[in-house]
Structure 1
Amino acid sequence: MKAVVYSKYGSPEVLQLKELKKPSPKTNEILVKVMATSVTSGDVRLRASDFPALVWLPARLIFGLFSPKKQILGHEWSGIIEQIGTKVTKFNVGDEVFGTTSMLKTGAYAEYMCIPEYWNQGVVIKKPKNLSHKESAVVPIGSMTALFLLQKAEIARDQKVLIYGASGSVGSYAVQLANHYGASVTGVCSTRNVALVEHLGAETVIDYKNEDYTNSSEQYDIVFDTVGKTSKSNAKKVLKSDGRFVTTKMLTKESTELLLKIRQLVDSGQLKPLIDKEYSLDTIVEAHRYVDSGRKRGNVSVVVHH
């Protein structure tokens, strides 16, 4: 099978397309034919070992001090089950599934991979009925991160929520989810993304190139930094006294419960993935270059099988 591997940290060029042996599932695993995956900020960070100074050493100890332990990236995916282990009870051959590869030894930049039926750090469930594989593949990470942090902030109806970085993957889901909860949403983004963020459902949009959100006269119940580029001290300038600040720099947790809620919202048409560009395993280097550029809107999909 084809897979994209990397044996050292660095620029997108460290990613190499190779022929590897097709894996076989253990008793508790499913063999997935990967139909699509994505390029997330987590993939880019792991490839470059671009960790903040405070966590650089702990992160390197977890993910590989001198070279990456997990040589196949791809944190989220959608695919079809081709084989199941003898102890698997939740799934059948032919099931269309989607999920994550968090803290597993392998990722989804491959034509096939083995995933445990259950493990503590990640999740796999049947994919949304009304999405294609390339759409389903970009849903798990961004949407679960957005939902987890909005729940942490105790989002409620009629609140005022400011979403910083509203046109990115987490941001585009956060705008839609905040709308689902009945909040009034203000999005912060660049000039070229104003119309997009309005289309996602933001009532007000602040163009950060022309206006500093901290100068706003509005007071918000929640400020959600979806790109890790603002701070609690800045957010406090526009937060109500009992307001909450959440950021993607916080620890988040994946769960089957979160992804089931996401799937329900997708199936009911209340949540839609935003795909900016589509690539293949052959053009994965180009895909990483594009995400590195910082110009990504929503998500970048990688189609593995047509």
Structure 2
Amino acid sequence: MPESSSAALRSTPTGVIHDIGYQRYAGPRLGRRHVFGALYVHGLRTTFGFGRSAKAKIFPWLVIGIVTLVAAALTAIRSQIGEPVATYAQFADSMSWLVLFFVAVAAPELVSRDLRSGVLPLYFSRPLPRGDYALAKLLALVTGLWLLLGGPQVLMFLGAAFTTKQGLRGVWNELLDLLPGLLYAGLWAVVFASVGLLIASLTGKRAFAAGGVVAVFLMTTPIVGVLSILPSRSANELAGLASPSTLVQGVGIWSLGDLLVEDGQEGIGVGRFGPVYALAAVLLVAGATALLLARYRKVAS
């Protein structure tokens, strides 16, 4: 090739840089707290099916419809007969099986999907510690379960408040009955959410996670039945510790008394072991939360 042609080729530009308008972000950087809040809100929306397909909304809102319908029926019956059919705490107890299946569907949606789709490295590349991710998901599920049980209780309260014949005093007494019921609903929510989310976090397959949640709660129930028929009275009174559901009921019977078990009704006999049930519930929630945090410390980023 002639030398002049080589020089001309070297002087010809081989590439062009175009300015297409990319600029550095100059706005406020909200930081860890706002990331946690956004993840919590997103998790709460996911719990009730918002932001997902219509098919994904069917089961959560079917459960919500059932518990609301039961609360409305109890309110209507009370307005006719003039006395409560069930207390607020008893309502939470009677809806516990629906809460279990709600957890079995909601918990895998919160954590199993992220494990399966491999988006956790994107979450952890931002100013979001792994523990914050797990706690935001747990708090979202606890809130969702509490709303599931607490919303119908508020509906029952409003119905009772508008039909009471004792005026403001009747409304006040009704409020004093409602508050323990809401706290008891919170206990159901915390225990079920902590155990259910831990189980769901072990697999990225939602079907396996849902089955695991249901299996853990259902398989522990026969153990309670076996222990409750032993000849030892202490074993009978401690039988409820073997299952998360009866554990919550035992704490409720010890702390709420007549608001949960009326005279002539059968319930879990906790005897003198009421504080043991309360301590066991605290340890169960703390242990499940600690294991959940440990699980996400080991998840590949």
Same fold (TM over 0.5): no
Question: Rg bigger for which structure?
Answer: 2
TM-score tier, shorter chain, comes to under 0.3
Larger proportion of helix? 2
- Normalising by structure 1, report the TM-score: 0.24
